């Protein structure tokens, strides 16, 4: 089982030919109100890939909260551990998507920001019965740190997608089994340049020294790099498809990776806790297919594929190759 503790947003999405410059007005082409939030997106991605998933999140007592609660409950077999918080709005994200499918996102956290160490301690039993805990950085850092610490105490495999990136407290790294930054996030975490492959490997080594066991560095159209503390480095190429909207492609990737790690660990007959390099590379290959499908559809959660679509990827790709 996977537990995701993270953000839930209503995405207010404007499709436009190009984003306005400062002080400029442009006419948009379309507007959509779509379920989002990095936490919810990753949880839905994992569930659609077939993992038993629990989403721990918070919304406000408002109409966005009503709509999201109804929608998210249908995604998870056991429902979701979503609390309603009085006096704060549901989180929202204002998203501009241009003609190339690139996005610009501003998040107003609302209820997502009300998590604290105490509220995380209250979900310890949920974390303890998981095999994998998946986190992002759209809830307060104290809450993320406490979630990681509980997972470590309870023997749960931890994945942190450090988005949006901020410098992390030094003692947090040793609680992370798998860190999944993109190139920019890797640079923010380490303060190092990450524009070339040697630089990416050096930055990853810096994080290994701080205590992280393995990293997947996502590199957009270049694919991703798997780098572990035993000096294994593997490049997994991306698929080239015509992107309509890249929103949540990273979330899709993280949810799918978590799903495959959970499946791998579920098959273990011995107490070996972490996936091997080969198992992780297979998980990344699966997730790369999932995110290629996701960028061909508009919006965060509507773009997340189901397992049968990923299993049929080869046929799908023949029809969608650029
Ligand atoms: O990663 C995409 C997500 O970032 C959007 O759904 C938006 O809500 C923001 O959290």
Domains and CATH numbers, the chain: 2-6+38-62+76-87+114-320 (3.40.1190.20)
Instruction: Give kind and range of the element (H or E) at residue 200.
Output: helix 197-210
Q: How many residues does the chain have?
A: 322
Active site residues: 251
**pLDDT given at position 194:** 97
pLDDT tens track for 175-231 = 999 999 999 999 999 999 999 999 999 999 999 999 999 999 999 989 999 999 888
Atom of ligand 1 minimally distant from the CA of 10: 8
Nearest CA to ligand 1 atom 2: 248
Task: Copy the structure tokens of residue 13.
Answer: 């999405």
- Report the SS3 class of residue 127: helix
- Complete edge-to-edge strand list for the sheet that includes strand 91-97: 30-36, 9-15, 91-97, 103-108
Percentage above 90 pLDDT, the chain: 90
pLDDT tens track for 110-153 = 999 999 999 999 999 999 999 999 999 999 999 999 999 999 99
Per-residue pLDDT, averaged over 32-37, amounts to 97
CB distance 38 to ligand 1 below 6 Å? yes
Residue 170: Cβ within 10 Å count = 9
The more confidently predicted of residues 212 and 322 is 212
Atom of ligand 1 minimally distant from the CA of 103: 2
Quickly list H helices, 267-312.
Answer: 277-294, 307-311
Instruction: Give kind and range of the element (H or E) at residue 227.
Output: strand 224-228
Burial of 69: CB neighbours in 10 Å, binned 0-12, 13-18, 19+ = middle
Q: How far apart are CA 265 and CA 256, in angstroms?
A: 14
Nearest CA to ligand 1 atom 10: 37
Q: How far apart are CA 243 and CA 250, in angstroms?
A: 13
Considering the chain, what is the average pLDDT of its residues? 95
CB distance 75 to ligand 1 below 6 Å? no
Q: How far apart are CA 21 and CA 70, in angstroms?
A: 37
Furthest C-alpha separation in the chain: 61
CB distance 8 to ligand 1 below 6 Å? no
């Amino acid at each position: 089982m996977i537990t995701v503790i993270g953000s839930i947003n209503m995405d207010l999405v404007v499709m436009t030919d190009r984003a306005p410059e400062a002080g400029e007005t442009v006419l948009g082409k379309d507007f959509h109100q779509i379920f989002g939030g990095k936490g919810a997106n990753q949880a839905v991605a994992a569930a659609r890939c077939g993992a038993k998933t629990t989403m721990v999140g918070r919304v406000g007592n408002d109409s966005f909260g009503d709509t999201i609660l109804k929608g998210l409950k249908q995604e998870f077999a056991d429902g979701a551990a979503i609390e309603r918080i009085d006096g704060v709005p549901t989180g929202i994200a204002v998203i501009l998507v241009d003609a190339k499918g690139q996005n610009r996102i501003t998040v107003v956290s609302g209820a997502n920001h009300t998590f604290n160490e105490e509220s995380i301690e209250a979900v310890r039993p949920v974390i303890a019965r998981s095999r994998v805990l998946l986190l992002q950085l759209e809830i307060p850092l104290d809450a993320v740190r406490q979630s990681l610490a509980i997972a470590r105490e309870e023997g749960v495999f931890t994945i942190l997608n450090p988005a949006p990136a901020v410098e992390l407290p030094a003692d947090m790294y040793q609680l992370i089994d798998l860190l999944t930054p993109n190139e920019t996030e890797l640079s923010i975490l380490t303060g190092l340049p990450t524009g070339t492959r040697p630089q990416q490997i050096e930055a990853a080594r810096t994080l290994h020294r701080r205590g992280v066991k393995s990293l997947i560095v996502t590199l957009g159209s270049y694919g991703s790099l798997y780098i572990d503390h035993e000096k294994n480095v593997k490049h997994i190429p991306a698929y080239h498809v015509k992107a309509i909207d890249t929103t949540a492609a990273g979330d899709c990737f993280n949810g799918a990776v978590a799903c495959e790690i959970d499946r791998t660990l579920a098959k273990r007959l011995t107490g070996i806790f972490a996936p091997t390099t080969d198992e992780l590379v297979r998980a990344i290959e699966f997730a790369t297919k999932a995110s290629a499908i996701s960028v061909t559809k508009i919006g965060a959660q509507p773009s997340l594929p189901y397992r049968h679509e990923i299993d049929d990827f080869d046929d799908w790709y023949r029809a969608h190759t650029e």
